[in-house]
Structure 1
Amino acid sequence: MTNLVTATELADLIAAEAVRVLDVRWQLGRTDGRREYLTGHIPGAVFVDVEKDLSRSGDPAEGRHPLPSTEQVQEAARRWGLDDGDAVVVYDDASGISAARAWWLLSHGGVDVRVLDGGWAAWKAAGGDAESGSAEYTPGMITLTDVSGDSLTIDEAAAFPEHGVLLDVRAAERFRGEVEPMDPIAGHIPGAVNLPTTVHIGEDGTLRGADELRANFAAVGVNGDTPVATYCGSGLTAAHTALVLAEAGIDAKIFHGSWSAWSNTPGRPIATGA
């Protein structure tokens, strides 16, 4: 089963009143996407705050976006108006990179959730309707299962290259340790291999075809036969690569603390170079 929907498919679901839509706009360097949401969003979509709803405050050693508890996500999902059995579509304005965090948490919580391929740009390109202001909705009573499944601790991430492929999905120059705009130390987790999540995204913002995705992964030793885990800077982009892996038919784990946790934990070894 695909984890994506097209803009046309989403329009049909909305017309049939068969889906709940969540706007998960967030980008690095922007407090949140609420202003953009209020300016214009998919009709009926409810705004999701990535910082407050899909992560929590924590010690720097936990990373910049620590994994939230099931109770926190469930409380937020009820505020969004979700009930048990609802079909959900999430989208953003970053080719799915922030929406994938919601996809990961909700799918592990037992929700039927998909990501709008290409996000807000694809919706507008398809001629989709838009509305401004906040959507009106009634709070829901959804019950989530444990959202922390397939999440790695820092020790598990450190040991992962011994038996699987640990994918660092940041830009190559950050992986090599040449630059580090966000975290205290540049470099990568020893044994990790680099595959930036952006290589999976086409010029129009949608995911590339399944054959091309599988070829991208095969080039770094990921073919479905070996365990694979992902990490990034703060844990958000790692979920996007996990989504791409799912589309390629490969299950993945995520080190949600990612480089921000690793680089803030004293004594952790640092690798640099290609």
Structure 2
Amino acid sequence: MDALVTTEFLARALGSDGLVVLDATYTSTLPGSAKQEPRADYAAGHVPGALLLDLDTLVDAADPLPSMLPPRDLFEARMAALGITADSRVILYDDSPHHTSCRAWWVLGRFGVEASLLDGGIAKWKAEGRPIEQDTHAPAPTRFEAGMPRTQVRSLAEMQATDEQIVDARSAARFTGAEPDPRTECAPGHIPGSTNIPYGRFFESDGTWKQPDALRAEFEAVGIDLDKPLVATCGSGITASVIAFAAHLLGRDVPVYDGSWSQWGASPATPKALGPA
């Protein structure tokens, strides 16, 4: 399948052998942000046959940083419980302003699972009057073993040593330090030398992805050379995955700094910059 699929494609594909549709909505941990309840929202209505990925718990619970990559055994157990095999065709969607299916795509990719995103998410599906169900499903468990990574990650140490272009997906106000960081333990500002592309710039007003030429223009508008290495960051690794997926649509493999500003901004040992890039 293509990395991005339409609602028309999914409507035709529902019920086909090997297809697994996952609701990848995630509850934002950002202080002050609107709270969502993915389980309740899923129960209230989802794409027919879809399963809840429960991205909230697909994390490293032992790490004090928010939403860090899950350990391998947890990931394998979750995929097995969802009935996913190496031959499954996985389509992800969300109902989140943060486009959290991108994070799910990146997490699945770290463990070798190829997945596609539903363009426009469930909001577009509903707007078109397509069917919604409230039934829950219990797939037959499988045996699942993680494969070779399809996506890349960067650690704090790697970020401190990198000469890659750094693209920050946060809002301009948070990037420049014009407003304080919502996590009180984090300083304002950004990683020195990084460039800001607020993640919303990659989408049309209806929540669908911009066309490739327009995606490329967003990178070029801030001086990013897509022919040179770059890495994505944000507040906690969620919207950085939007940048990684946008680059993926352009044929580029962009790693995500998983700790992002939650780690860099809270560390007394890292330099911080204020103002525009």
Summarize the Cα distance change of 1:265–1:31 in structure 2 as closer, same or farther, 3 Å threshold.
farther
Question: In percent, how many aligned pairs have the same letter?
Answer: 34
Summarize the Cα distance change of 1:98–1:155 in structure 2 as closer, same or farther, 3 Å threshold.
same
What's the counterpart of residue 213 of structure 2? Answer: 211
Q: Is the 8 A contact 1:105 1:148 kept in 2?
A: no
Q: Secondary structure at the match of 1:199?
A: helix
**Residue 11 in structure 1 maps to residue 3 in structure 2:** no
Aligned length: 269
Q: Is the 8 A contact 2:93 2:117 kept in 1?
A: yes
Of 79, 91, 113, which aligns to 1:89?
A: 91
The superposition leaves residues 62-86 of structure 1 with CA deviations (integer Å, 9 ceiling, x where unpaired) of x312121222211111111112210
1:128, 1:93 → 2: CA distance? Answer: 15
Q: Is the 8 A contact 1:95 1:201 kept in 2?
A: no
1:235, 1:114 → 2: CA distance? Answer: 19
What's the counterpart of residue 106 of structure 1? Answer: 108
1:148, 1:249 → 2: CA distance? Answer: 13
Deviation of 1:147 after TM superposition, in Å, equals 4.8
**Residue 39 in structure 1 maps to residue 44 in structure 2:** yes
How high is the TM-score relative to the length of structure 2?
0.90
The superposition leaves residues 133-156 of structure 1 with CA deviations (integer Å, 9 ceiling, x where unpaired) of 422311122221255952111121
Q: Is the 8 A contact 1:37 1:133 kept in 2?
A: no
Of 40, 57, 61, which aligns to 1:57?
A: 61
What's the counterpart of residue 173 of structure 1? Answer: 173
Deviation of 1:225 after TM superposition, in Å, equals 1.5
> 1:97 is matched by which residue type in structure 2?
H
How high is the TM-score relative to the length of structure 1?
0.91
The superposition leaves residues 174-202 of structure 1 with CA deviations (integer Å, 9 ceiling, x where unpaired) of 00112211352211111111111110111
The superposition leaves residues 230-269 of structure 1 with CA deviations (integer Å, 9 ceiling, x where unpaired) of 0111111111110111112222011000000112223211
CA RMSD of aligned residues (A): 1.9
1:153, 1:130 → 2: CA distance? Answer: 40
> 2:11 is matched by which residue type in structure 1?
A
1:262, 1:226 → 2: CA distance? Answer: 23
User: Map of 1:99-248 to 2, 5 A cutoff?
Assistant: 99-147=101-149, 150-160=152-162, 163-179=163-179, 180-184=181-185, 185-248=187-250
2:272, 2:74 → 1: CA distance? Answer: 33
- Consecutive unaligned residues of structure 2, counting only runs of 5 or more, are none
> 2:173 is matched by which residue type in structure 1?
E
Of 267, 274, 277, which aligns to 1:265?
A: 267
2:270, 2:217 → 1: CA distance? Answer: 32
Q: Secondary structure at the match of 1:229?
A: strand
Q: Is the 8 A contact 2:109 2:150 kept in 1?
A: no
